[in-house]
Amino acid sequence: MLTVNFSPLRSEDDQPSVSYVAPVLTIDAAAYDLSELPDGYTADHPVLGKVSRSGGDYELTLRLSHGANAPESTRFPTPLIVTADGAITLPLYDEVANELD
């Protein structure tokens, strides 16, 4: 299991493409093998933030870019629990206001 915490940041940068095939987390084609962290350890990583491991369970913190009109659920995100391999859908970057004609 992977728990992804988010650190929201207002930015013009696009959100990355993120996927997980246990125990490898891939962010924009850069692969991070989480199993390299010894069991029971916590480490600070420049991309993954604070990373911890307990057996086969991992927890980390990703920076979450968002736009000026990001919804509250993006600005104050809840942790994401990943239990299956595949693409990880990040919280919405921005909301586009609907204009009346």
Q: What is the pLDDT of residues 44-97, one digit of tens each?
A: 999 999 999 999 999 999 999 999 999 999 999 999 999 999 999 999 899 875
Q: Supply the pTM of this predicted model.
A: 0.87
Q: What phi-psi label fits residue 48: left (phi over 0), alpha (psi between -120 and 50 degrees) or beta?
A: alpha
Please check whether residue 82 is in contact with residue 88, taking contact to mean a CB–CB distance below 8 angstroms: yes
pLDDT average, residue stretch 24-49: 96
The CA radius of gyration of the chain, in Å to the nearest whole number, is 15
Predicted confidence at residue 95, as pLDDT, reads: 85
Beta strands in the chain, from DSSP E residues, in sequence order: 2-10, 18-21, 24-27, 30-33, 42-45, 49-54, 57-66, 80-82, 86-88
